[in-house]
Structure 1
Amino acid sequence: MPELPEVEALAGFLAERVVGRTVEKVLPLAVSVLKTYDPPLGELEGRAVTGVRRYGKFLDLATDGGPHLAFHLARAGWLRWHDRLPGTSPRLGKGPLALRLRLADGAGFDLTEAGTQKRLAVHCVRRPEDVPGIARLGPDPLAPDFTAEVFAGLLRDERRQLKGVLRDQGVIAGIGNAYSDEILHAARMSPFKLAASLTPQETAALYEALGATLRDAVERARGHAAKELKAEKRSGLRVHGRTGEPCPVCGDTIREVSFSDSSLQYCPTCQTGGKPLADRRLSRLLK
């Protein structure tokens, strides 16, 4: 799943290519992709794109005097840019193609989604805040007003584990499974530690780790073409997706905890005092 750093890079990539150019056609090709009906997609056509902005893990294209096209790539979605789109129209419901946006000069992009779970979501709205997922977003962790005091206030009464709090888009916008693992590793904290139990010193350390991890990832992603961002993300991860590999900090073996539809990775030496965390899925199988 693309998270804040990759979506930020995609926003920059798209802005360089679509701002000032006119939308010719927006064609939804998967039944489930379009989540709105008013305004219709046709209102985008014939309008110039005036800006591209990231909201959490959402991308938003604004048009001149018209609606916005906002989309969330979800777990298996991606954006594919074409300097020249094929001349023939794609067939509805065939393959991974979910939506095509064609510009008046023949360039454009496709939104694709692999797998059977179709979660990629496209919204045509008057304002970005009309998208429920955008309206409920918490503060952006890269915004200037996301201070250490704001962060501490978010955690103060949280009785949940840090992993879940960091991934909650209503608490902090843009962090997903991968970067929550990376942030907690950088902060040397267990993903199961309760947020409200942090001392002021631990809260400050987590705030610094969060900012540094995301800023570093944004810098690595910046300037890459859309097709390169997935590989760039994987290459920069230190613990997430690296089960069984040595920790780059201490050399201990990176461990995993599996859930029904996801998993987390961590280093026991760096994060849990050398104690492996219980893998709940495996524990159930052994009962």
Structure 2
Amino acid sequence: MPELPEVESLTRFLAGHAVGQDIDRVYPVAVNALKTYEPPVTALEGRQFDEVTRHGKFLDLRTGELHLVIHLARAGWVRWSDALPGTPPRPGKGPLALRVRFAGPEGAGFDVTEAGTQKHLAVYVVRDPRDVPGIARLGPDPLSGGFTLAAFTGLLDGERRQIKGVLRDQTVIAGIGNAYSDEILHAARMSPFKLAARLSEEEVVRLHLAIGTTLTEAVEHSRGLPLRNLKAEKKSGLRVHGRKGEPCPVCGDTIREVSFSDSALQYCPTCQTGGKPLADRRMSKLLK
């Protein structure tokens, strides 16, 4: 799933390639991806993108008073082409959800795609990004200047959930998903099952620092890469997520996994849980 660092990279790429381009045609190939109908996506045609920004995991391409907002969900992506076909794409069962073709002899532009059978990608055309429900509910951006230690401490005040779930909650902090929450907790040397309300002041400081450092390093790791390489490079920069059975790069212990119905987390027992393995949450609670 694209998370904050990947969406930030997409934002920077599109800001450098799409801003100032005349929009020739917009093709909504997968109608189920459209979450708004007024204004229609065709209202973007004949305009130029003025700015590309990010709200958590949401892409926001602004043209005048209109915003094309895209949430890539679990399996969505943006693919740039210097020469898109001039013929309209055919709706079907393929991954293509939306095509934006710019004017000009070459017809550059980008496709928004979604792999797999579960279709959760979402496309909006709105006059105010806050009209998108997911954006309206977002918590603070962890790379913003306002995400101070004091602000983070306030977010955790009274929070009785496990810290892994808190980090992934977009209404608490915008942009962190399954992969980077694993990475942050490893950097902070903290169990994913630790209750947020029981964090000491020192642990809160450590976790706040790990959030900023981990996300900043991930953004820098992907800077300047072609869009087609971003997913592969994301995995190369991860220390524990997706690395079950491999040695921890810090201590050498074997990275373990806890599976859930639709996802899994990875962690290092030595670095994070005092050497104690965590039980599979489908069967039992944390081993004591």
Equivalent position of 2:32 in the other structure: 32
Partner of 1:47: 47
Deviations 1:242-268 (A, max 9, x none): 000000000000000000000000000
Match of 2:272 in 1: 271
Which residue does the alignment assign to 2:155? 154
SS at structure 2 position matched to 1:249: coil
Deviation at 1:31, TM superposition (A): 2.7
- Give the corresponding residue for 1:92: 91
- Give the letter for the 2:139 counterpart: G
SS state at 2:270 partner: helix
* Contact persistence 2:27–2:89 (CA under 8 A): no
Paired letter, 1:269? T
The answer to whether 1:194 aligns with 2:160 is: no
CA distance in 2, matches of 1:176, 1:206: 15
The equivalent of 1:66 in structure 2 is: 65
- The amino acid of 1:44's aligned partner reads L
CA distance in 2 between counterparts of 1:44 and 1:88 reads 19
Name segments (4+ residues, structure 1) moved above 6 Å. Answer: none
1:20-67 Cα shifts (integer Å, max 9, x gaps): 11111111111311000111112111111100001100000000x331
2 CA distance for matches of 1:186 and 1:66?
Answer: 41
| Residue-by-residue CA offset, 1:83-111 (whole Å, 9 max, x unaligned) | 01012221112311111011112110001
Q: Write the deviation string for residues 108-157 of structure 1: whole angstroms up to 9, x where unpaired.
A: 00011111100000000001111111111000000011100000100111
CA–CA distance in structure 1, aligned partners of residues 34 and 14 of structure 2:
20
CA contact (8 A) 1:47 1:66 kept: no
Q: CA deviation at 1:281?
A: 2.6
Q: State the alpha-carbon separation in 2 of the partners of residues 4 and 238 from structure 1.
A: 17
Letter in 1 for 2:184: I
| Contact preservation (8 Å) 2:65, 2:127 | yes
> Would the aligned equivalents of 1:34 and 1:122 in 2 still touch at CA under 8 Å?
yes
Percentage of matched positions with identical amino acids: 72
Q: In structure 1, what is the equivalent of residue 164 of structure 2?
A: 163
* Residue aligning to 2:128: 127
Q: Determine if the alignment matches structure 1 residue 180 to structure 2 residue 188.
A: no
Q: Which amino acid aligns with 2:161?
A: R
Task: State the shift of 1:278 in Å.
Answer: 0.8
Q: How many residues matched? A: 283
Q: Is the 8 A contact 2:27 2:88 kept in 1?
A: no
Q: Which residue of 2 aligns with 1:114?
A: 115
Superposed counterparts of 1:8-23, under 5 Å: 8-23=8-23
TM (norm. structure 2) is 0.96
Structure 2 gap ranges (5+):
none
SS of match in other structure, 2:35: coil
> Any gaps of 5 or more consecutive residues in structure 1?
none
Residue pair 1:44, 1:66 contacting (<8 A) in 2 also = no
Query: TM-score w.r.t. structure 1 length?
Result: 0.97
CA distance in 1 between counterparts of 2:123 and 2:156 reads: 32
Structure-2 separation of matches of 1:92 and 1:141: 38
Question: What displacement does 1:282 show?
Answer: 5.2
Over the residues paired in the alignment, what is the CA RMSD in angstroms? 1.1
Amino acid at match of 1:229: L
**Cα distance, 1:225 vs. partner?**
1.2
Deviation at 1:283, TM superposition (A): 5.1
| Deviates most, 45-54 or 87-96 | 87-96
**Letter of the structure 2 residue corresponding to residue 223 of structure 1:** G
Counterpart for residue 4 of structure 1: 4
Counterpart of 1:260 in structure 2 is: 261
In 2, Cα distance between equivalents of 1:280 and 1:177: 16
